[in-house]
Amino acid sequence: MRCPYCQNSDSKVLDTSRDNHGGIRRRRECLKCGQRFSSHERPILATPLIVKQDGGREEFDREKMARGIRISCAKRPVSAADIERMIGNVETRLQEMGKAEVSSRIVGDLVMTTLKEVDQIAYVRYAIVYLGLDDLKSIRKEIDHLLDS
């Protein structure tokens, strides 16, 4: 691990702890300059290829999914920690499926389910784009469905 202050590659670990997502946080001290810093480690698990509606395939892009969730939660009382937790949960569920390929529909449905639990307005915002709700009647129908459940 390189020191972020002097770029030296020698450091010693002072403390190690685990986070809620299976990652490891290490508190380190540089052996050259004496500065302290933290590093975070998390296992890299294989995520499936995403099969788009047109049949094309692309790598799972965590940032692309995160962008959609952040946009739907904009100006809503949803904390950054909640957003990161949602993103992590969806990614974990995809990895747990153990499949080489997953339909983009499954990813969208996982995001919708997660958003519905956290913030219903964010859910509706995401649904408008994801489900292609392009008129007020279809949006109203989705809101009515949400209110009934």
Q: Is the pTM of this model over 0.75?
A: no
List 36's β-bridge partners, or say none.
Answer: 29
The Cα diameter of the chain in Å comes to: 66
- Cα dihedral 35, 38, 44, 50 sign: negative
Note whether 36 and 53 are same-domain residues. no
The owner of tokens 């956290």 is 118
Tell me: the pLDDT tens digits for 90-138? 998 998 888 899 999 999 999 999 999 999 999 999 999 999 999 999 9
- Domain presence at residue 94: yes
Cβ–Cβ < 8 Å for 145, 138: no
Note whether 64 and 33 are same-domain residues. no
Could you give the CA distance from residue 112 to residue 127 in angstroms, rounded to a whole number?
Answer: 7
Q: What is the mean pLDDT of residues 1-6?
A: 93
Note whether 122 and 139 are same-domain residues. yes
Q: What is the mean pLDDT of residues 21-37?
A: 91
Alpha helices (H) along the chain: 62-72, 80-97, 104-118, 120-130, 136-148
Q: How many domains does the chain have?
A: 2
Note whether 61 and 130 are same-domain residues. yes
Could you give the CA distance from residue 58 to residue 61 in angstroms, rounded to a whole number?
Answer: 8
Number of CB atoms found within 10 A of residue 140's CB: 11
Note whether 96 and 32 are same-domain residues. no
Note whether 64 and 111 are same-domain residues. yes
* Residue-number span of the structural domain to which 126 is assigned: 49-148
Note whether 68 and 104 are same-domain residues. yes
